[in-house]
Amino acid sequence: MMPSSRPMLTAILRGLRGRCPACGEGRLFEGLIKQAPVCTHCGEPTGEIPADDGPPWFTVLILGPFLAAITFLVSMTPSVPLWLALPILGIGAIGAVLLMLPRVKGVFIGILWRLQKNNQT
């Protein structure tokens, strides 16, 4: 019997918001991307879920093509000097990664949590 996709989607959306995949109330992170050991609301041990290298790898896979294309287009535009454009693009790239990485890590944790719960039942 196939498990319902609804709980997986719920866990993904909760992770995207940085919330506990079990209850949706507690915070998933203590800092920017440091996992909280347990949910402060329901006590689920979310700190034991190993997200490891997946979130940074996937973040680069998502942002890389866009950032490379933007860098190429800006460098080919003669009206913007490179000495000004490249530092601004670098700051923008760092900002994009800092905005995206916690969300991608939350999604990974939500998926891994759901898969662990499916294997336990």
φ and ψ of 82, to 5 deg:
-60, -35
Query: What pLDDT shows up at residue 1?
Result: 39
Domain count, the chain: 1
Contact 39, 29 (CB under 8 A): no
Range of the domain at 23: 5-120
Mean pLDDT of the region 9-22: 95
Q: Tell me the pTM.
A: 0.87
Q: What is the pLDDT of residues 71-113, one digit of tens each?
A: 899 888 888 888 898 899 999 999 999 999 999 999 999 999 9
Taking alpha carbons only, the member of 15, 8, 107, 116 closest to residue 59 is 107
Local confidence band at 5 (pLDDT 50, 70, 90 cut-offs): low
